[in-house]
Amino acid sequence: MRYKNLFDSHAHYADSSFDKDREILLNKILPESGIAYIMLAGVALSDCLQSQELAKKYNYIYCSAGIHPEQIQDLPENWLEQIEMLASYPKCMAIGEIGLDYHQQENKNLQKEIFIKQLELAKKLDFPVILHIRDAMGDAMEILKFYQPKGVLHCYNGSAETARELLKINHLYFSFSSVITYKNVRKPVEALKILPLDKIMLETDSPYLAPEPYRHKRCDSRMIIHTAEKMAEIKNITTQELVTICCENAKRLFQIA
């Protein structure tokens, strides 16, 4: 079944895995599959520039600008000024993806420094943030409570208890990926159950995190329907209702008319 108003709130079409078929995907296949909006999440300066070019080319694509916690080594001295410059592009709607990732990482202090500088930039520009938090929720929670950003927790896989605590931060949304379709996954399912409908969003994280039954294959935005159907089942509403609600939430956060 084809759904209307599908908004993939987090994807990476500048990634090299799309080099061979990017144009036909973005120009034809995805729009014909009902994908109405895509937010490209920036991870590095070069990636942000490529994403901006895609947003210029395709009306339904938007972009963000930010430094991912895994991309913080060897940044130029004026990296923050470059992010601010990228954010001035009219279809750049967020600072991200930014955050903390302590999985196999040892540079925790540098990560926090870069994260905080980008949060401060987002506050200055009145932009939402796209948050990447992995194995670092304790430190992230402390920082987020202090800065109170508006934004979205990308690929939320935390507990329901953590979600309740994060809900105390106004204008913070929770985006779910296809991880929620995986067998024996518990925490994001329990979190989604307690989250209000006006706080949730849909994403693929393409080319990563393909859903069941495509696990370990390259993901693209067409696969978002599997996540939507699973989320709708958990929230006990129709899939189209879920898709429309998530689309309106994403448009509200990213200030897309």
Reading the chain (257 residues) residue by residue, the pLDDT tens digits are: 789 999 999 999 999 999 999 999 999 999 999 999 999 999 999 999 999 999 999 999 999 999 999 999 999 999 999 999 999 999 999 999 999 999 987 899 999 999 999 999 999 999 999 999 999 999 999 999 999 999 999 999 999 999 999 999 999 999 999 999 999 999 999 999 999 999 999 999 999 999 988 989 999 999 999 999 999 999 999 999 999 999 999 999 999 99
Residue 207: asked if its preceding bond is cis (omega within 30°), the reply is yes
Q: 198: buried, middle or exposed (CB in 10 Å: 19+, 13-18, 0-12)?
A: exposed
Cβ distance 172 to 150 under 8 Å? Answer: yes
pLDDT value of residue 106: 81
pLDDT value of residue 191: 98
Cβ distance 155 to 164 under 8 Å? Answer: no
pLDDT value of residue 105: 79
Q: Which residues have C-beta within 8 Å of that of residue 74, sequence separation ≥ 6? A: none
HEC string of 216-238 equals CCCCCHHHHHHHHHHHHHHHCCC
Domains of the chain: 6-254 (3.20.20.140)
**What is the pTM assigned to this prediction?**
0.97
CA 175 to chain centre: 7
Which token pair is 9? 């709130």
Per the rule left: phi > 0, alpha: psi between -120 and 50, beta: everything else, 57 is: alpha
Cβ distance 181 to 150 under 8 Å? Answer: no
Which token pair is 164? 């309740």
d(CA 10, CA 97) in angstroms, rounded, equals 9
Residue 213: asked if its preceding bond is cis (omega within 30°), the reply is yes
